[in-house]
Structure 1
Amino acid sequence: MELSAKQLEQFDRDGFLVFPDLFSRHEVAVLRREVARLSQVTGDEVVREHTGGVRTIFRVHENDGPTRSRPFRALVRTPRLLRPVQQVLKDDAVYVYHTKINTKPAIEGTVWQWHQDYGSWKRDGCARPDMATFNVMMTDTTEMGGALYLIPGSHKLGRIEPVYDESTSYKFWAMPKQRMREILKSSPEPVAVTGRAGTCVLFHCNVLHASGHNLSADDRWHIYVSCNTVANKPQLGDNPRPDWVVSRNWHPLPIEADGGVLQAA
């Protein structure tokens, strides 16, 4: 899939692009079966809510490790996903920084606070914000179900120094609350990305985004494929985050034939 000049202009302006129904219901069904299987895995790669439900499953795109998955490995190499990432990053040598499945179980799935991904990734040692994330919805997504919200144009603010948030089961670097209030008052209305399973959103690493509690009766399953250019690989410090969060596999991803998800089932 090749992005048009108009789409590239929109990405530069808003910091994100939405692709309705990019993956078929058959592909989504394959991915959902994998999520159900991976949810039974125990280990550091699987983060659980305080109630015991799965919050996040990391590192599903590799061919080794407890959370390895052939369908998700195929997903990150599909031209529908990888080619747009190459285009917005202006570099064909792209690798997966990490993959994570956020499940947001019905009723108990909790929030992800306002943050920029590059808030953490610069701390990992990535010198430039030459990074983006491709989110694939594996379930129908509604606002009540904990949709992802993005603030159009917020990537143009540049990186804002984050604060360490420990209020949820997955501790991470989030936006300072007072600064976030100021931004919300002066920015366009946040956009809730809703749609049917198979809908996707590609967003810049400095776009401010968040998601709320899943108040609905249905689980909300999304996979986030975060990508970096090989030239921007992190200069790891003395105490780097583990490889299931910050990949050490810096080989550029090849674009493979479309249909790989179904073939890997």
Structure 2
Amino acid sequence: MKLYPEFTDRHLAEFERDGYVIIRNFFSEEEVKLIYETSLQDQVIRAHSFDFNDSKGLRTKLALWYTPQDDVYGMYSRSARMLNAAEKIMGGGVGHYHSKLMQKEPKKGGAWEWHQDYGYWYNNGFLYPEMLSIMLALTEANQQNGCMQVLKGSHRMGRVEHNIAGEQVGARMEKVDEALKRHELVYVELQAGDALFFHCNLLHRSDSNNSDNSRWSLISVYNKLSNKPYKDEPASCYTPLQKVEDDMLLKIGAKGIDDAADFLSSEKDKKFKEKIE
């Protein structure tokens, strides 16, 4: 008997057709509570979080790191259910490009403009769109608190040009406007524990958080091992991951990240923005 949800052939077919798929309750209530409460108290995460401003000056806070550690976040990104799904989608072994804790706070959490993740990862030296994001909702995500919006099937457009929008990289609106005429706009509303798998070329955005509730999520990005970048990117993205059993997340307990982890920090922020421009 399987204790955890499995990414099936049906999920794969939906992912390939639509560019995304949702698995409800991919992580249990106990697991999500552990990750969320650990992150709320994690002083290292807080110290290494920084803001991205949207085009209206509202801020979304995030912490981003590359190499997964032996902590609660690393047990998430290296868990069997995550890696089995990523390998099934990619058709081979995967490395860990980065994980990020997204912290969209009540009343002030900013929007994300229309973009494709590969719109800027391509400029970081990845020649092929063999990259995948898995987002775990740590809190409820709905239209009021700025849930993700996607254009269903837009990953089939391939990569489109991107420009700077505020302090973010946004897709060229000429292409987005045409895509909006042809692809269904879906508000990805999630409960804590639900997981969203999405293709790196899927057009997506989110509104600002106008509610009284936070919207937090933990996103891990995987890269196919053969898709080694030709530019200087962290070796974790082309290094095989050490898979751990699913129950390791609860066994590790409320262990936060080490300050020595390879964070994208405020000091590296300028270099990061220069890279994506």
1:32 and 2:36 correspond: yes
Cα displacement (A) at 1:53: 7.4
SS of structure 2 residue aligned to 1:106: coil
Q: Which amino acid aligns with 1:181?
A: D
**TM-score, normalised relative to structure 1:** 0.86
List aligned pairs for 1:77-88, cutoff 5 A: 77-88=78-89
The answer on whether the counterparts of 2:25 and 2:193 sit within 8 Å (CA) in structure 1 is: yes
> In percent, how many aligned pairs have the same letter?
26
6 and 54 in structure 1: CA distance in 2 versus 1, 3 angstrom threshold: closer
Report the equivalent of 1:197: 192
Cα RMSD (Å) of the superposition? 2.1
Q: Which runs of 4+ in 1 moved over 3 A?
A: 38-43, 49-54
Matches within 5 A, 1:206-221: 206-221=201-216
Q: Which runs of 5+ in 2 are unaligned?
A: 254-277
Is residue 2:174 matched to residue 1:175?
no
Structure 1 partner of 2:72: 71
Q: Counterpart of 2:256?
A: none
Contact 1:39 1:57 in 2 (8 A): no
Give the equivalent residue in structure 2 for 1:259.
247
Instruction: Please tell me the residue identity of whatever aligns with 1:78.
Output: S
CA 1:39 to 1:196, structure 2 compared with 1: closer, same or farther past 3 Å?
Answer: farther
Q: C-alpha separation between the residues in 2 aligned to 1:233 and 1:99?
A: 18
In terms of mean alpha carbon deviation, does 3-12 or 45-54 score higher?
45-54
Hey, what's the Cα distance between the residues in 1 that align with 2:89 and 2:213?
33
Map residues 55-204 of structure 1 onto 2, 5 A cutoff: 55-59=61-65, 62-63=68-69, 70-91=71-92, 93-165=93-165, 167=166, 171-188=167-184, 190-204=185-199
Number of residue pairs the alignment of both structures matches: 245
Contact 1:78 1:257 in 2 (8 A): yes
Q: Secondary structure at the match of 2:226?
A: helix
1:226 alignment counterpart? 221
2:12 aligned to which of 3, 8, 14: 8
What residue identity is the alignment partner of 2:234?
S
Match of 1:66 in 2: none
Offset from partner CA, 1:16-47 (integer Å, 9 cap, x none) = 1101111111111111122213366565x421
Greater share of residues in helix: 2
Change (3 A) 1:195 1:42: closer
